[in-house]
Chains A and B, each alone.
Chain A
Amino acid sequence: MYDFSYDSHEYFFDLLAFSFLLLPCFFLPVSALARRLMMIVAGMYMIYFIAPRLVVFYLAFWVGIFLLHRLIAFTEKRGGANGIFWATILIVLSPLVCWKVLGDTFSHEMNIVLNNLFRQASQILWELDMASGLVGTIGLSFATFRALDLLIKTYLGKLERLRFDEVMFYGFFPPVQIVGPIIEYEEIARLEQKPDSQKIYEGLLRIASGFFKIFLLAGALKGTVGVFGHTDGMPIWQVWLNLIGYSWYFYLNFSGYSDLSIGIAKLYGFDLKENFNFPFFKRNIKEFWNSWHMSLSRFAQRNIFIPCGGYRAGTQYVALLATMMTIALWHDISIPMVLYGLYHFTGLTVQRHYAARTTTAAPSAAATHILHVLLTYLFVLLSFPLIPLKFGELLPFYKALVGM
């Protein structure tokens, strides 16, 4: 009924245009605090152009995260630390869970409540806020997991007590606010003093690569999204072709935005970790998950898989299930995503059994390698409909894949 969607490329266009001013200022010989403040203001300003009310939302969010971070650090060696930690996890997850479960209702109320705050404060700001249109809580999934990572590391003693400006810098770091990657604080902890021509060059190339993927490659495949829910009378080969096209559209779009984030960060001297590594060309499902949305996989590995005993024989499968369900439900809290998590858990379990029973062999012949890659891609491909479709639409679509 109402449209809460947002074209993420608008954010990146604004950020790149703003970088003409921000980049020279960022490398001025001023203190690290001043430079972090520049980035914080820049991040907020970029969000302002999506919708001023989102600035209020994320300001409250990250101020809250700072307070929780300090609370955890304060109670670290005191009684009740455990309880406080788990309470903070629940608090941080609650906006995301509400959004995923309530969907448009949450977005609807969020827009009204935050807009009303402006109404109380200033007529002009209120009217300006309405002019930006309706928005969903863009970037909340990424922000929540970044916040969780910060708090978990604080609890485990892996991160020292951070200052307010450091947490806000992490929260409002412009390149990753909207579409990730889910970076760790350590990736941006160090600010380069001087611009690096090599990094600027690499950053520009990466940005160009991102735009090429998004506008040319993914843009050409955008029509394949229409296959979902419209397979009546469609021949089998066309359904498969559209599904393959969609999988590539999804990958190119997502990895394209990651390229933009990583490229822009590189302009400012930050080397963010990679988020995609040619995932459709991997030989097994484990390699696939080590190369698809790697920032989320890394988060899940260090914060779910390892603590749940992923490297212990007795608990590895429980840990694996918990990990895959976290990854799946991060996308959406729905039955299709539960199925998605179970599906990939099954694949990974089978792969583990197979790997455990196979001795180290000589590198496989090209034909075998290609066969493994195709089978892995096919396995992953069959899970793609679970992302856009509702539960009731799944069976008709899978029937269409087999001509029923």
Chain B
Amino acid sequence: MDFIFARKTDWPSLLRIIFWAVFFLYNASATLPEVQENNLYARAVAGTRVTPVTTIDNDPRFIRDDLPLPTKNGVRIAWITDSTGVIYLPDRSILNTMYADLKFISVHVLKLLEEKRGLKDASIDISPILAVKTIENLSAVAALIETRPQMIVMSLNPTWIFYGYEILSKKAFLNKASALWIKHSETWPWMLMIASPVNHLWALAGQHFKIIRQSTLYKPMFQPPPPEEDGTKKKQSRKKISDTIFWVCSSSTKENCETILIADQKHNMEFVYNEFFKLSDPASNGFAAWSLQNTLDILEKSGIPTLIYTAPASEKIKKDAEAYKKILLINDAISGLRKKYEGTNIRIIDRIPENIQRSATYLNNDNFHIVAPGKLDDFLADEIWHTIQQYHIAEKRNNR
């Protein structure tokens, strides 16, 4: 090994090493074969003018590279949502559902805009990040703003918006996040506090080198998928408990913690989310509240007409008096934000009317995830149309 390690070198040699490393990265990026993007929602949007634009969980690019943005002509709507914007299968919990089985409420909404309002050239660029937390939500907003849509629709999930026990879950997105955050001074402190040095390096290098930016797409070529466990092994292995359950348990009594753990293992999301709710604090000055405020400030500064709605909840939530009380507090806090942003480009629906919420069909043991939208899609279509009218969006439609 001496011929490598004992070789004498000097500063020009080191510069040469750097040059060749950069040269390799450029050439590798230029000669990489094209790899198909992961489009797990293809079935959900087939034949529609809805385009899922964000990458999947472990892919840090946020926005897919293969989409020419703007994706379509006409009235372009960017829709930022999470699992509450998705329609599930009735016989599965949200944790057992495959991507291919999901549908989007926005597809229904777009169809209604076309049929009832004659808006035949509207399109939706949807960012459906399941289980999105407050930091990812802001980053999705920042990413979609860059595509300059005519309008933004954003859903607020009452479970997470004031929930400080889990402000971030998809850490892979941090690799791109700092490139988004640097454009918004509200998030500059986050560049030191949340994004690590390697996140910054990835964000910087990813902009220039495709081989780095698209590394997730090429991973399956080098790393075969893990072998499927056989049935006996599956029985032996216990489901790993999430970190958020740990923190929730640490704030609970021992008995309550055991109940939460059992509910989590059995996918009783109604109980689990109720417990999360009770720990939300709309009055706190924590990170979740800070993040929501930053999100709204960024939207306001963008000047893009924005409709924000709070995701509906099932009547079943009233069975837990404490959780219901908390959701009313959350609604009040959002109502305060609605008043604060009146007269700006942001319209906030702090609470979807009760009859609309009741019309949707929800998953068993779940208060927020729906299997049928009921009148929700109609309601949202009307609100979107109202926003389009209010801000004369149709007159500013995109024409290429």
- Asked whether A57 is an interface residue with its Cβ less than 8 Å from the other chain, the reply is no
- A126 contacts the other chain (Cβ, under 8 Å)? yes
Q: Does A379 contact B (CB under 8 A)?
A: no
Determine the residue in chain A with the shortest Cβ distance to B193: A128
Q: In the bound complex, what is the Cα–Cα distance between A18 and B8 (angstroms)?
A: 27
- Which B188-238 residues have C-beta < 8 A from chain A? 193-194, 196-198, 200-201, 233, 238
A111 to B247, CA, bound (A): 9
Give A112 to B251 CA distance when docked, in angstroms.
9
Count, chain B residues at interface, CB 8 A: 38
Known contacts A3-B240, A126-B164, A127-B288, A198 near B8 by CB under 8 Å: yes
Cβ of B303 within 8 Å of any chain A Cβ, yes or no, is no
Say if the beta carbon of B243 comes within 8 Å of chain A. Answer: yes
Could you say which of B9-17, B52-60, B307-315 contacts chain A?
B9-17
Which chain B residues lie closer than 8 Å to A370 at the CB level? none
Residues of chain B in range 119-144 having any CB-CB distance to chain A below 8 Å? 135
Q: Contact: A112 with B250, CB < 8 Å? A: yes
Interface locus among B279-287, B292-300, B328-336, B356-364: B279-287
- Closest Cβ–Cβ distance, residue B16 to chain A (whole Å): 11
Question: Which residues of the other chain, A, contact B286 by a CB distance below 8 angstroms?
Answer: 123-124, 126-127
For B164, the chain A residues whose CB sits under 8 A away are 123, 126-127, 130
**Interface residues of A, CB < 8 Å — how many?**
34
Rounded to whole Å, the gap between the CB of A131 and the closest CB of chain B is 5
Please name the residue on chain B nearest to A223 by beta carbon.
Answer: B227
- Contact in complex: A18, B197 (CB < 8 Å): yes
With A1-B241, A115-B247, A126-B286 already in contact, the answer to whether A197 and B196 are too (CB < 8 A) is no
Q: Among the interface residues B11, B13, B246, which one has the most CB atoms of the partner chain A within 10 A?
A: B246
Check: B385 CB closer than 8 A to any chain A CB.
no
A131 neighbours in B (Cβ, 8 Å): 135, 166-168, 194, 287
Q: Is A200 in contact with chain B by the CB < 8 A criterion? A: yes
Q: Which residues of A contact B165 (CB under 8 A)?
A: 127, 130
Contact string against B for A residues 48-74, beta-carbon threshold 8 Å, 1 for contact and 0 otherwise? 010000000000000000000000000
Contact present for A198 and B9 (CB under 8 Å): yes
- Give chain B interface residues in 244-292, CB to chain A under 8 Å: 244, 246-247, 250, 284-288, 290
A361 at the interface (CB under 8 A from B): no
Q: Chain B residues near A198: list those with CB within 8 A.
A: 8-10
Residue of A nearest to B233 (CB): A230
* A13–B198 touching, CB < 8 Å: yes
Contact at A127–B285, with CB atoms within 8 Å?
A: no
Q: How far is the CB of A309 from chain B (nearest CB, A)?
A: 38
For residue B241, which residues in chain A have a CB less than 8 angstroms away from its CB? 1-3
A6 within 8 Å of B (CB atoms): no
Q: How far is it, in angstroms, between the C-alpha of A178 and the C-alpha of B160 when the chains are bound?
A: 33
Q: Chain B interface mostly helix, strand, loop or mixed?
A: helix
Known contacts A133-B243, A202-B5; decide if A197 and B285 are in contact (CB<8 Å): no
Q: Which of A1-60 contact B (CB under 8 A)?
A: 1-3, 10, 13-18, 20-21, 49
Given A17-B198, A205-B4, A130 contacting B285 (CB threshold 8 A): no
Nearest CB of A to B223, in Å: 8
Known: A17-B201, A202-B5. A128 touches B194 (CB 8 A): yes
A227 at the interface (CB under 8 A from B): no
Residue from B14, B233, B243, B250 within 8 A of A197 (CB atoms): B14
Asked whether, in the complex, the Cβ of A123 is within 8 Å of the Cβ of B284, the reply is yes
Interface status of A134 (Cβ within 8 A of chain B): yes
**Closest Cβ of chain A: how far from B178's Cβ, in Å?**
11
* B252 → chain A closest CB, angstroms: 12
Chain A residues, CB < 8 A from B167:
127-128, 130-131
> How distant is the Cα of A134 from the Cα of B246 in the complex, in angstroms?
8
- Residues of A close to B201: CB separation below 8 A: 17, 20
Q: Which residues of chain A are within 8 angstroms of B197 by Cβ–Cβ distance?
A: 14-15, 17-18, 20-21, 49
Closest A residue by C-beta to B248 = A130
User: How far apart are the CA atoms of A206 and B9 in the complex, in Å?
Assistant: 15
15 A-B pairs in the complex with CB atoms less than 8 angstroms apart: A2-B240, A13-B198, A14-B198, A20-B201, A49-B196, A115-B247, A123-B284, A123-B286, A124-B290, A127-B165, A128-B194, A130-B164, A197-B13, A200-B14, A201-B9
Q: Report which A residues bind B (CB closer than 8 A).
A: 1-3, 10, 13-18, 20-21, 49, 111-112, 115, 123-124, 126-128, 130-131, 133-134, 197-198, 200-202, 204-206, 230
**With A3-B240, A198-B10 already in contact, 14 other A-B pairs whose C-beta atoms are closer than 8 Å:** A2-B243, A2-B246, A10-B198, A123-B284, A123-B286, A126-B286, A127-B165, A127-B286, A128-B287, A130-B164, A131-B166, A197-B10, A198-B9, A205-B4
Q: Which A-B residue pairs are the 3 nearest by beta carbons?
A: A17-B197, A18-B197, A127-B164
